[in-house]
């Protein structure tokens, strides 16, 4: 039997397990997937928890429910990958798993401990995050009775997963405080290391204008050096200070510790791979999918989905000894919730930045690119159903894996 080993049963790993259980002959292949946690989190839903649009139960399901028959699921922390021996050591029972092909899909995690003052005595008192289930739930509780004041949202450093999530948080906060009748008592500040609202210039201008209209003040190029939890201020490397009553941080994102222990990653524990095929340049039988890969596109579930679409066909070519095709183009597609029942949508790839237009049907939509519409909001809300019922199960969605220019216009 040939052995396909998948590390991480999150968004990307689960999709790969489902796809490969259909595409490979299970009389010849043994597929195994490993994860440390039994619960699968719908992470885009964390955004809605602080504003009581979702509760914890809306974003969790057992991982086992999404692993197909014929695929072995092992629950254990992964200790180390040893590519030279084609094996992976697990923590539980010191088990050793050999592989012929390895898929690394261990994602990215937040590290609040990497910023001085952030993860100390004020953590979950006046300082919160919403990138973890614990943070999102704690923040929801805090916002129930928060009387208002200055709320500062700070991204510590890029890249982060879902780079639009902090913007959505700001716009939903504006809506939420209006609903609570306290918007006039809340000042909202966004301190970001970027020169503007977003990484790409056209979208940055559109989104910056929207934030401006909503009364959100952007402090660009703010690189936080430390947090002073007692004086309640964040301090940058160039000694700018911003005081807060409530700090919502997006802490440093880093790839899994197992990547560092295995000597496979860069300084942030992301694994360098070919950006079109996901193959490791050092190891011809290791692929990296999802947030764990060091490739120049967004770390997002939509990217993982398009990536798995392109990669599946290439993997079949690879195991048949054929040359892989450079099919993955960095395609990302993200709904951006903007409050008051509206949202935006962006669609881009390695070469084309988000542009205005209609999606997916050129000229028709029903979704509008880079424009606030109610339909986009419903797209975002429908996405949770699609995630649990289609995407994770590796079903084909009626969306092209590669970005298309049809329906987009330059402005």
Ligand X SMILES: Cc1cc2nc3c(=O)[nH]c(=O)nc-3n(C[C@H](O)[C@H](O)[C@H](O)COP(=O)(O)OP(=O)(O)OC[C@H]3O[C@@H](n4cnc5c(N)ncnc54)[C@H](O)[C@@H]3O)c2cc1C
Give the nearest distance from C-beta 230 to ligand X in angstroms.
Answer: 28
201, 165 contact by CB (below 8 A): no
Alpha-carbon gap, residue 354 to 332, rounded angstroms: 9
Residue nearest to ligand X (CB): 10
Pick 331 or 408: Cβ nearer ligand X:
331
Bridge partners for 248 per DSSP? 128, 153
Distance from the first to the final alpha carbon of the chain: 55
What residues have CB less than 8 Å from 227, skipping those under 6 apart? 115, 116, 117, 118, 127, 233, 234, 235, 247, 249
Structure tokens at 38: 């039994």
Q: How far is the CB of 174 from ligand X (least distance, A)?
A: 17
In the complex, minimum distance from the CB of residue 283 to ligand X, in angstroms, rounded to a whole number: 18
Task: For residues 400 and 330, give the distance between their C-alpha atoms in angstroms, rounded to a whole number.
Answer: 12
**CB closer to ligand X, 236 vs 298:** 298
Nearer to ligand X, 66 or 235 (CB): 66
Measured from the CB atom, the residue of 11 and 86 that comes closer to ligand X is 11
Q: Is 241 helix (H, G, I), strand (E, B) or coil?
A: strand
200 CB burial (10 A radius; 0-12, 13-18, 19+): middle
Write down the least CB distance from residue 299 to ligand X, Å: 5
CB of residue 190 to ligand X, shortest distance in Å: 16
Task: Give me the least distance between CB of 332 and ligand X, in Å please.
Answer: 8
Contact residues toward ligand X (CB under 6 A) are: 8-13, 34-37, 43-44, 46-47, 77-78, 105-107, 130-131, 161-162, 165, 256, 258, 290-292, 299-302, 304, 334
* 11/236 with CB nearer ligand X: 11
Side-chain half-sphere exposure of 87, counting CA atoms within 13 A: 8
- For ligand X, the closer of residues 163 and 229 by Cβ is 163
Residue closer to ligand X by CB (options 86, 298) is 298
- We find the least distance from the C-beta atom of residue 209 to ligand X, in angstroms, to be 21
What is the rounded CA–CA span in Å between residue 216 and residue 187? 8
| Spatial distance between the Cα atoms of 397 and 224, rounded to a whole number of angstroms | 40
Residue 122, CA atoms < 13 Å, CB-side half-sphere? 20
| Minimum distance from residue 323 beta carbon to ligand X (Å) | 26
Our CB check for ligand X shows the closer of 30 and 36 to be 36
Structure letter (DSSP) for residue 46: G
336, 346 in Cβ contact below 8 A? yes
């Amino acid at each position: 039997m040939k052995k396909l080993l998948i590390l991480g049963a999150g968004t990307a790993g689960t999709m790969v397990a489902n796809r490969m259980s259909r595409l490979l002959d299970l009389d010849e292949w043994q597929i195994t997937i490993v994860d440390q946690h039994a619960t699968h989190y719908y992470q885009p839903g964390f955004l809605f928890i602080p504003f009581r649009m979702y509760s914890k139960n809306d974003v969790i399901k057992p991982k086992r429910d999404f692993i197909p028959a014929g695929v072995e699921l092992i629950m254990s922390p992964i200790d180390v990958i040893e590519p030279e021996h084609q094996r992976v050591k697990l923590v539980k029972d010191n088990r050793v798993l050999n592989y012929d092909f390895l898929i690394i899909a261990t994602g990215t995690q937040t590290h609040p401990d990497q910023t001085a003052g952030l993860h100390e005595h004020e953590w979950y008192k006046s300082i919160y995050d919403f990138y973890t289930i614990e943070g999102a739930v704690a923040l929801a509780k805090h916002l129930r009775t928060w009387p208002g004041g200055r709320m500062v949202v700070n991204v510590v450093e890029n890249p982060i997963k879902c780079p639009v999530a902090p913007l959505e948080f700001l716009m939903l906060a504006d809506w939420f405080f209006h609903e609570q009748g306290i918007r006039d008592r809340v000042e909202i500040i966004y301190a970001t290391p970027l020169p503007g609202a977003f990484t790409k210039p056209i979208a940055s201008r559109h989104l910056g204008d929207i934030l401006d209209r909503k009364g959100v003040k952007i402090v660009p190029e703010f690189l936080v050096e430390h947090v002073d939890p007692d004086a309640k201020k964040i301090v940058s490397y160039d000694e700018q200070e911003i005081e807060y009553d409530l700090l919502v941080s997006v802490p440093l994102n880093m790839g899994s510790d197992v990547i560092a222990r295995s000597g496979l990653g860069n300084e942030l524990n992301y694994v360098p791979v070919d950006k079109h095929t996901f193959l490791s340049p050092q190891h011809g039988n290791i692929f990296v999918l999802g947030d764990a890969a060091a490739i120049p596109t967004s770390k997002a579930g939509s990217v993982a989905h398009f990536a798995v679409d392109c990669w599946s066909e290439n993997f079949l070519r690879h195991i048949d000894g054929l040359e892989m095709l450079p099919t993955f183009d960095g395609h990302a597609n993200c709904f951006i919730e903007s409050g008051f029942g509206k949202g935006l949508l962006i669609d881009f790839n390695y070469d084309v930045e988000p542009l205005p237009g209609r999606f997916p049907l050129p000229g028709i939509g029903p979704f509008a690119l880079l424009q606030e519409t109610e339909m986009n909001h419903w797209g975002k809300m429908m996405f949770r159903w699609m995630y649990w019922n289609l995407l994770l199960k590796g079903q084909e969605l009626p969306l092209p894996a590669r970005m298309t220019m049809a329906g987009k216009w330059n402005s």
